[in-house]
A and B are shown apart, each in its own frame.
Chain A
Amino acid sequence: EELLVEEV
């Protein structure tokens, strides 16, 4: 379940 969205 690798993250589809990552935020910086």
Chain B
Amino acid sequence: MTLSTTELFDASAPWSLNAQVSLRDEAFGALAYHHGTRRLVFLKSRELVELVRQLDQFESAHAAIDELVPADQHDRYVGALASLAHSEILRGR
């Protein structure tokens, strides 16, 4: 059995933007570039960009999502953060 990216992501843990990642705001959201892995990631909503920028102010990803994301979008944003963690755009702290 293979666990999905979302299932492997611990949203109860504290996360932050990786220090090796540069974020550039764009009309659609933002570009994230990882200087170590050379991965370029498109964050395709302004809400997701705000969530990523403010993650380090919360004790967990869940707490940040509860505060910043509408309730009916929570699962979607947990999945987005899981994908960003898998790409090393986010790191545990």
Contacts and interface: CB of A to CB of B under 8 A. Distances in A.
Interface in A1-8: 1-8
A7 B76 contact: no
Interface of A: 1-8
A5 B76 contact: no
Interface of B: 39-45, 48, 76-77, 79-80, 83-84, 87
B39 A7 contact: yes
A8 B39 contact: yes
A5 B40 contact: no
Given A4-B48, A5-B42, A7-B39, 18 more contacts: A1-B76, A4-B44, A4-B45, A4-B77, A4-B79, A5-B41, A5-B43, A5-B44, A5-B83, A5-B84, A5-B87, A6-B42, A6-B44, A7-B41, A7-B42, A7-B87, A8-B39, A8-B40
